[in-house]
Amino acid sequence: MPINVGHDSAKTRKTLKSGDQTVAYYSIKAAEEAGLGDFSKLPAALKVVLENMLRFEDGKTVTQDDIKAFSEWATKGGKNPREIAYRPARVLMQDFTGVPAVVDLAAMRDGIVALGGKAQQINPLNPVDLVIDHSVMIDEFGNPRAFQMNVDREYERNMERYQFLKWGQGAFNNFRVVPPGTGICHQVNLEYLAQTVWTDTDQNGEEVAYPDTLVGTDSHTTMVNGAAVLGWGVGGIEAEAAMLGQPISMLIPEVVGFELTGKMMEGTTGTDLVLKVVEMLRERGVVSKFVEFYGEGLDHLPLADRATIANMAPEYGATCGFFPIDDETLRYLTQTGRDKDRIALVEAYAKENGMWRGPDYAPVYSDTLHLDMGTIVPAISGPKRPQDYIALDKAAKEFHKYIEGQRSAKDGSANAEGRWEAEGGQPEPTAIPGDEGNHKRGFVTEGDGYQLHDGSIVIASITSCTNTSNPYVMIGAGLVARKAAERGLTRKPWVKTSLAPGSQVVSHYLEAAGLQEDLDKIGFNLVGYGCTTCIGNSGPLDPEISKCINDNDLIGVSVLSGNRNFEGRISPDVRANYLASPPLVVAYALVGDMNVDITTASLGKDKDGKDVYLKDLWPTQAEIAELVEATVTREAFQSKYADVFKGDEKWQEVETSEGETYDWPAQSTYVQNPPYFQGMSKDPGSISNIENARVLALLGDMVTTDHISPAGSFKESTPAGQYLRERQVPVREFNSYGSRRGNHEVMMRGTFANIRIRNEMLDNVEGGYTLGPDGEQMSIFDAAMAYQENDTPLVIFAGEQYGAGSSRDWAAKGTALLGVKAVIAEDFERIHRSNLVGMGVIPFEFMNGDTRKSLGLTGKESVSIKGLDTLKPQAEVPCTITMEDGSVKEITLKCRIDTAIEIEYVENGGVLNYVLRDLAKSA
């Protein structure tokens, strides 16, 4: 039977009638009547997990004590961190993380055959959808041919990967691929794949209904929680284990209730709301917790805005941000073309199983926050973290402070202005509105002759599922463009503008409203359907602009409607990155300068020479609502998703090999057989103590997975670039780290290689460098290989929030392949901690107030950690640090292997090795 249906003998299994349908389901009321506890006060998000326990209760993996623990959670004030085994209904992937996942599955097929099993034992048991959305780059922009030219280049660059994915689609069961040019995985999931209540048949052919749940190999899988679908991001290795029937080991989470009241005011957007929510929740601290939104404010919050808030859960650090099922959920399912019988089932099921948000909805929460939406003001966030909230009218002043801080840090002076004045010989920049003469670093580009300076906006991109899934802000952006074009305004010539919607439905309603033509007039032509700028695929700037920025050490700026603005992510030429609503992205493209206070300054002159202000261009909520109502239709969704898996002619013409195992092409620089399972024995090993390890890197706070494993472009001089040049790959064909994740040789060389990462073992050095065994500065990859030749184990030291950001498993895979045995940090973000364990790398946290700074670490120490041969979950273990001068410091570390099954994963060398050995035994 399908792995996700559950046991047909459970006492809690009942029958539900909805219209002409009759389905089986697992009843929370029946569990209460059976004496398993009182679940009436559980939040809806936790009831979804409880239902999962009822459906899979077998007395072994899931017991009645696990079920009773949910009742105790409510009586203990929303806390009862019991280990449970959770099985999501399905898995979602995108191509950057999906290609390496399919590579792993293909390698596991080779591995199971080598251990005496059969290739067909390696097959997804749950439905898996992979959406190709991360590969399109913005090479061409600002003209009518941009879309087709970018698509053509995408296929040229990625044909090897697409051939491999097509092989996977044919070789594996339960595995579908949504072709390039369709949309972003989270938007396709929200608009089409998700059902809110899922159905499947059991071994007796009976239809069973249960909550739609998933995990995804992208941190923004959380977006679908806006439609009451419980989902969150995991690393590819954890998703692969879930595909193969391995339950996800987790602790019953705390659930933070976030009460929303009031209504959004005129002139504000859902983006403004989510940026405030991110700031509040990141400040409160919700890592590894669920957040559930409730309150009368939800009655005035469209599902599009809910999805924007849910999408940003990784930015506020939560596992997910959940919205219960209510009337708005049903309205959205209807609008987006879902089957009407399914919508009726969603309502009936939610009301019958206690998951409906009505007027009397008042669950117990672990903690609560409150926000009156009437207090929201226009805002942006940046310059390098999503939680760095800035009210729009303070943006220019805050940017000035940022510049002064950057220049002072470089000069070692309290006032960088003195250096600027002393530099002499540079041309005076043109006047910057509202600048007051404080930011004079200006340089003229060759060619067009315009002036660039600190704060010049060189990228303005409407991008990312976060906002392009929201018709209110997209229509709003189109109306700003229309009013600007009517007044004769256009983008500044140094701004690279782009429009990359998350689905083809967006283009449908923009064209139906006549707004795409207006966007085209000011440079926001369609460049592709994909993540583009938000994932770092912003493409190259004009060579003259890039040269001017780099030759003169200017602080260039990007403004994007995305969810991530980490250092080094958006473009190698841009230091300051700001998140903003699509209408604000358009406005910033018009002015082209972050020094300008766009709330008061002129954005330009109209045809008559009169100043045009933001208030002149900003649409009313009524104008937006009228166009949304007229153009965002059920028929549009049904039409655009009718052939979602078919693809265009280019996809249909992709040729691939056939067979149960993959014929690895020896010359491929995109897809290589990884070493994880080669030569693997049938029996697991044990966890060994770490003896005399050396420090590979000493890192600070908020080191993200982008720092550890960057996704964007890389240069010929990097270890990854040298590897490709040695194989005769021209620089033009390098593509990105993200696209090369099917080749472990490239990715090892890209680990800790972000151009903005700072290893505190070195003074004022940016990039992936460290001290090698000889004490000389070298690349982290070269140093790691030198240590491996001497069989020297390695450790990483770090600060707070280590591994924040994307779910990318390569941040853990690369760490493991470099020979790192342990990462010692002040604390970890949820997904990366799990990924490290899944690759056999042990995460440890400092205790007793110790930090890398309080211990005076320089990176020249040796480290030994004992007690690992008898390790228990979350054990405290002794660590000996031998300093460079021979002195010794004894400290205690907390092991962040959190559950018993995770101990077994590490003993096996990783979760996939564990699964492979388990399958080999059954063979």
What averages of pLDDT result for each successive group of 10 residues across the chain (923 residues)?
A: 61 93 96 96 98 94 95 95 93 89 93 92 93 87 94 90 93 94 93 96 91 93 97 88 87 97 96 95 94 97 96 93 98 97 98 96 97 97 91 95 83 41 33 41 73 95 87 96 97 96 94 97 93 81 92 94 82 92 96 96 94 97 95 95 91 90 92 91 92 98 93 91 96 89 96 94 94 96 97 97 86 96 95 92 97 97 96 96 97 95 94 90 77
> Which tokens hold the place of 548?
């001017």
Per the structure block, which two tokens stand in for 837? 């364990």
Q: In whole angstroms, how large is the CA radius of gyration of the chain?
A: 27
Q: Which CATH class is domain 690-709+751-907?
A: alpha beta
Please state whether beta strands 83-86 and 248-251 pair in parallel, antiparallel, or not at all (unpaired): antiparallel
CATH 3.40.50.920 fits 90-375, yes or no: no
Where exactly are the structural domains of the chain?
90-375, 392-632, 690-709+751-907
As given in the structure block, the two tokens for residue 297 are 């404010």
Closest among 45, 42, 44 to 70, alpha carbons compared: 42
Separation of alpha carbons 158 and 135, rounded Å: 8
Which helix (DSSP H) or strand (DSSP E) does residue 912 occupy? helix 911-922
Order the strands of the 213-216 sheet from edge to edge: 175-178, 128-131, 90-94, 213-216, 230-233
855: how many CB neighbours lie within 10 A of its CB?
A: 15
CA distance 678 to 681: 9
Q: 559 with 214: CB under 8 angstroms?
A: no
Which residues is 579 bridged to in the sheet? 381, 560
CA separation for the pair 461, 499 (Å, rounded): 6
Question: Same topology for domains 90-375 and 392-632, yes or no?
Answer: yes
Q: What angle do CA 111, 112, 118 make, to 5 degrees?
A: 140
Give residue 92's pLDDT: 96
pLDDT of the residue at 411? 64
CA-to-CA distance for 880 and 867, rounded, in angstroms?
12
Strands 876-882 and 888-895: antiparallel
* 841 secondary structure, DSSP code: P
What is the model's pLDDT at position 8? 67
pLDDT value of position 407:
78
Domain 392-632: give its CATH superfamily: Aconitase, domain 3 (3.30.499.10)
Nearest to 490 by CA among 392, 613, 597, 586: 586
Question: What pLDDT was estimated at residue 276?
Answer: 96
pLDDT for 645: 92
Whole-prediction pTM: 0.85
Q: Do strands 290-294 and 255-261 pair parallel, antiparallel, or not at all (unpaired)? A: parallel
Contact predicate 390/278, CB 8 Å: no
Please give the pLDDT value at position 414. 39
Helices (H) and strands (E) in the chain, counts: 32, 34
Q: Show the CA angle centred on residue 91, arms to residues 90 and 97, nearest 5°.
A: 175
Token look-up 């193969």 returns 244
